[in-house]
C-alpha cells in the first residue's frame, strides 16, 4: 500500500496536493476536516462536538478524532492506499495512526511536509473564505489561532516522522532530498505541484 501523510499548516495546500495524488495512484482520501464538516452538516452528535472546537480554531480532542479515523480506515479494507490530509495533528494521533495501519499490515510510506510562510497562509485562507464559505477561513483571529495551534501542537509531529526518515519537505518549489530520490521514484515526487 502507498500511504501518504499530507502535513502542513492551514492554507498550505494539502487539499490541492491530495487531488493529483489520488487521481494518479487511486488512493482513498481521508481528510479529518472534511469528515468533521460532513458531520456538522448532518447535525450528528460528533458534528456538534467538533463544531465547538473548530469555530474557535482549536483541535478536536484526540480521543474523538482518533476513534473517527479508526472507523473510517476500517471501512476501506480494499484500499490500495490512503492519503491522510490533516491527520495526524498531534503525536498521540501519529502513534495511533501507526497502530491502525499495523492492523492492515502496512505503514506510512512518506510524510510530505508542505511549508508556506505565515503571511501567505493568511492571505490564502482569507481568499479561500470567499468560495469555501468556511467560518474558520474568514475571520483573522480564528486563522491566527489555527496557525498558532499548528505551531504549538502539530509542527512537533514532524519529529515523529523525521526520526523514521519519512519526511519529504516541499517548500513551494520541489526539494528532493537524496534520501527520497533513492527511496521513492522521482515519478511519485513529480506529482507534488
Positions that interact with ligand AMP (CB under 6 A): 10, 32-33, 36, 53-54, 57-60, 65, 86-87, 89, 93, 136, 146
Q: CB nearer to ligand AMP: give 146 or 170.
A: 146
All 3 cell numbers of residue 15? Answer: 487539499
For the chain, the first-to-last Cα distance in angstroms comes to 22
Is 46 in a helix, a strand, or coil?
helix
Told to judge if 173 belongs to the known catalytic residues of this protein, a careful annotator would answer: no
78 — phi, psi (to 5°)? -90, 0
Q: CB nearer to ligand AMP: give 121 or 180.
A: 121
Q: Catalytic: which of 89, 124, 158, 183? A: 89
Told to judge if 41 belongs to the known catalytic residues of this protein, a careful annotator would answer: no
Q: CB nearer to ligand AMP: give 122 or 183.
A: 122
Order of all β-strands in the sheet with 110-114: 28-31, 81-85, 2-7, 110-114, 167-170
Minimum Å gap between C-beta 11 and ligand AMP is: 8
56 — phi, psi (to 5°)? -100, 0
Q: Catalytic: which of 51, 122, 128, 183? A: 128
Q: Catalytic: which of 51, 124, 134, 183? A: 134
Told to judge if 37 belongs to the known catalytic residues of this protein, a careful annotator would answer: no
Non-local (6+) Cβ contacts of 166 within 8 A are 108, 109, 110, 111
Q: Any idea which residues carry the catalytic annotation?
A: 14, 89, 128, 134, 146
Amino acid at each position: 500500500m502507498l500511504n501518504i501523510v499530507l502535513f502542513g499548516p492551514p492554507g498550505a495546500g494539502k487539499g490541492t496536493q491530495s487531488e493529483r495524488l489520488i487521481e494518479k495512484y487511486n488512493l482513498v482520501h481521508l481528510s479529518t476536516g472534511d469528515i468533521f464538516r460532513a458531520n456538522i452538516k448532518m447535525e450528528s452528535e460528533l458534528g456538534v462536538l467538533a463544531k465547538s472546537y473548530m469555530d474557535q480554531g482549536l483541535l478536536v480532542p484526540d480521543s474523538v478524532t482518533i476513534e473517527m479515523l479508526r472507523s473510517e480506515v476500517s471501512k476501506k479494507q480494499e484500499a490500495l492506499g490512503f492519503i491522510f490530509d490533516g491527520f495526524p495533528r498531534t503525536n498521540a494521533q501519529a502513534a495511533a495512526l501507526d497502530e491502525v495501519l499495523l492492523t492492515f499490515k502496512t505503514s506510512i510510506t512518506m510524510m510530505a511536509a508542505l511549508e508556506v510562510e505565515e503571511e501567505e497562509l493568511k492571505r490564502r485562507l482569507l481568499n479561500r473564505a470567499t468560495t469555501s464559505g468556511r467560518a474558520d477561513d474568514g475571520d483573522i483571529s480564528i486563522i491566527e489561532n489555527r496557525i498558532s495551534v499548528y505551531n504549538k501542537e502539530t509542527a512537533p509531529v514532524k519529529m515523529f516522522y523525521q526520526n523514521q526518515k519519512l519526511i519529504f519537505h516541499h517548500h513551494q518549489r520541489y526539494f528532493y532530498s537524496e534520501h527520497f530520490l533513492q527511496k521513492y521514484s522521482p515519478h511519485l515526487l513529480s506529482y507534488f505541484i
